[in-house]
């Protein structure tokens, strides 16, 4: 609780600002440009639990009630990297804002954006186990953080961005060795679970935003 308060910006009289108040009530609506009262908002309201819990997922991942070893700045840095890999402008701008609003975030911003650009490719690719599916193997780049940037990012974030690139573009190549690399870089089991959820959640959120944005422009009146 104490850490939670220190982490938040202070108002002029020294009281903590509620960080969640700075962010939209529904991130997917915000990112897809869905206005309250619009036909698309009415359609989303037909799946109220999905809408509400997608938002609760985002808040649990990016604005957790208790600060853990996996800091908010690290979470936002991974998000900005993943958003960059997806080339989705609204999502990229949003997580960039989230990162720079975190303590230490500003110092990471340029490097994370540059790494996101270095990691650009097209997915999904990857290999199948030995057998008839091998004919569907698709090769693609094996991303590694620029060694010159490792000092800025530190070992934990360096390992996290490498892992995030694997999950975004070639998840079927994932192996136990990739988790061992995270453990060796200082991640613990719970942290790896949260990191995996965070990257995987973003691949969901970004696709919902892409899909709803396309729907908005495709159907007159929606």
**Hey, which residues between 92 and 121 contact other proteins (CB under 8 A)?**
none
Among 19, 30, 33, 128, binds other proteins (CB under 8 A): 128
Axis crossing angle, helix 89-100 with helix 105-118, rounded to the nearest 10: 150
The CA distance from 140 to 118, in Å, is: 14
Task: For residue 168, state whether it binds other proteins (rule: CB under 8 A).
Answer: yes
The Cβ of residue 21 has, within 10 Å, a number of other Cβ atoms equal to 6
Nearer to other proteins, 6 or 219 (CB): 219
Nearer to other proteins, 101 or 121 (CB): 121
The Cβ of residue 79 has, within 10 Å, a number of other Cβ atoms equal to 28
Task: For residue 135, state whether it binds other proteins (rule: CB under 8 A).
Answer: no
Axis crossing angle, helix 189-218 with helix 72-86, rounded to the nearest 10: 40
* Only segment of 13-21, 92-100, 152-160, 170-178 that touches other proteins (CB under 8 A): 170-178
The CA distance from 122 to 110, in Å, is: 23
For the segment 68-97, give every residue that binds other proteins (CB under 8 A).
85-88
Over the window 28 to 57, marking each residue x when it contacts other proteins by CB under 8 A and - when it does not, the resulting string is -----------x---xx-xxxxx-xxx-xx
Nearer to other proteins, 111 or 205 (CB): 205
From residue 16, how far is each of 9, 11, 20, 68 by CA, in Å?
6, 6, 12, 19
Nearer to other proteins, 16 or 219 (CB): 219
Closest distance of CB 137 from other proteins, Å: 10
């Amino acid at each position: 609780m104490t850490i939670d308060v220190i982490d938040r910006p202070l108002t002029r009289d020294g009281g903590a600002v509620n960080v969640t108040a700075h962010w939209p009530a529904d991130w997917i609506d915000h990112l897809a440009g869905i206005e309250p009262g619009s036909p698309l908002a009415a359609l989303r309201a037909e799946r109220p639990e999905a809408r509400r819990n997608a938002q609760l997922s985002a808040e649990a991942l990016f604005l957790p009630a208790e600060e853990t070893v996996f800091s908010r700045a690290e979470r936002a840095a991974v998000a900005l990297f993943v958003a960059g890999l997806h080339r989705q402008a609204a999502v990229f701008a949003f997580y960039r804002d989230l990162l720079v609003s975190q303590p230490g975030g500003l110092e990471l911003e340029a490097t994370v954006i540059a790494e996101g650009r270095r990691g650009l490719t097209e997915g999904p690719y990857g290999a199948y186990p030995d057998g008839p599916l091998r004919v569907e193997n698709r090769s693609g780049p094996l991303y590694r953080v620029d060694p010159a940037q490792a000092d800025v990012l530190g070992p934990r974030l360096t390992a996290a961005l490498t892992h995030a690139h694997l999950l975004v573009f070639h998840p079927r190549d994932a192996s136990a060795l990739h988790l061992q690399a995270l453990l060796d870089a200082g991640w613990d089991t719970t942290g790896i679970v949260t990191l995996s959820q965070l990257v995987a959640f973003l691949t969901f959120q970004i696709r919902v935003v892409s899909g709803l944005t396309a729907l908005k422009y495709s159907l007159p009146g929606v």
